[in-house]
Chain A
């Protein structure tokens, strides 16, 4: 039988070195203190377990009807333009050209794709500032 006696040990610090179970608060104590303690105790009866699970969605189509719209940038990792998409703030100006270059040339795995998109964001802010300034000048004139 292995010798499990510890030497030079602090009894408070023996837990990881021995197989004995931790002291855990009991169910009654926890139920008295915490409203609803253990209501989802059963791991298999939690709404996201398993995470991949067929659940009704309300969809009444196999493939959604396609949204109509102008030419739109997309990730080259998409085999086609997804059927539904956001339409706010389409690409425009120099920032739009930089962003489109990033989308058209680099997969999502490439760092340069994301760095170009961040660069596009900064150019967008500068272009916006110029537009605002021009608007104020026009308003004064």
Chain B
């Protein structure tokens, strides 16, 4: 796929990616996904998103070629690739902060590198394509275990790992009431993960009926449609004995609806790095002394956040992009134990040639779309 401008993408032939560093591999993509955060690019919200770029940071595939310094992979290996591009050796990687690698993104120091996520995130092409360049092939990619289905593997490259990571950011303790804002894929996984960490109640807030239904069926959560109440914070207070939730998770990020002023200034006028409606609701709906995990993606500009309430309530805000590969061993265990079935949230599977329609559908939240997988060779099959 190729980005042609806000709300416009197409399918075009591009030159075959090549080995540009001895540690690179070229991966033939067998399955990719469209992430909710891809919509921020699609809507033209991320600074330095260049026409001609290819999106896609959730993908698995087969190793097609390796550079001269690659030791751990060989041609023909089936691999899953974390969305983080990272070196494994810098100050931050040596401390496990793979999402914050300093050796891979010339365009910004505050942001690590991500496949197919603008030049602000390093200028790498993504995996919504037939082939993709994978730097540091000895560090990021992992062989897909034989027992793991491809659809589950591709969901581990971001959405499930990020949801699970977000629940950890929130430092959930036994019996906690957890409010999750956003019932997209990452929010659903965060809600489901909250139970693994001992939550006593999980309440998911959204406005899309099919997603709230999935929050109930897949994540065993109570649900709250914020369009059906006058004041979502007040309603959450009512439902939590006027105490507030113990922890909250912002799984919405930059394009939150719920406030016309915030939405227009952020998504239309680009005067904010994101519309922080969900984060502000989280700040006001969590109890004093509570914790908020922020895994929704925001742009690098400032956002109008209710910091005074956060300060006066003594809240802890914890945020980061997910260090994907650190989550995999435990998530493998949970999938094998039957505690998680990642592809239960997949609603659509499309060939690469129909990706423009898929973006349009996902953006408009039409046809019950929650998670779409992209099959590059579906037309050939």
Instruction: Report which A residues bind B (CB closer than 8 A).
Output: 12-13, 15-16, 22, 24-25, 27, 30, 33-41, 43, 46-49, 51-55, 57-65, 67-69, 72-75, 77-78, 81-89, 95, 99, 103, 108, 111, 114, 117-118, 120-121, 124-125, 127-129
Contact = CB atoms under 8 A, between A and B. Distances in A.
Contacts of B108: 75, 77, 108
Contact of B122 (A27, A36, A53, A85): A85
Contacts of A61: 89
B53 A89 contact: yes
Nearest to A116: B47
B267 interface: no
Contacts, number: 216
Contacts of A27: 174
Contacts of A35: 338-339
B133 to A, nearest CB: 8
Interface string B48-67: 11111110000000000000
Interface string B150-177: 0000000000000001001101011100
B124 A88 contact: yes
B301 A58 contact: no
B168 A88 contact: no
* Consensus secondary structure, chain B interface: loop
Contact of B139 (A30, A37, A57, A69): A57
Contacts of B6: 125
Contacts of A89: 50-53, 119, 123
Given A47-B330, A82-B102, A117 B48 contact: yes
* Consensus secondary structure, chain A interface: loop
Most buried by B among A37, A65, A69: A37
Interface stretch (B319-327, B350-358, B371-379): B319-327
Contacts of B103: 64, 82-84
A55 to B, nearest CB: 5
Nearest to B68: A65
Contacts of B270: 118
B196 interface: yes
Interface in B68-118: 69, 71-72, 85-89, 93-98, 102-110, 113
Interface string B262-293: 00000000100100000000000000000000
Interface in B313-364: 320, 323, 326-327, 329-330, 334, 337-340
Contacts of B72: 58
Contact of B196 (A39, A49, A78, A108): A39
A75 B125 contact: no
A117 B51 contact: no
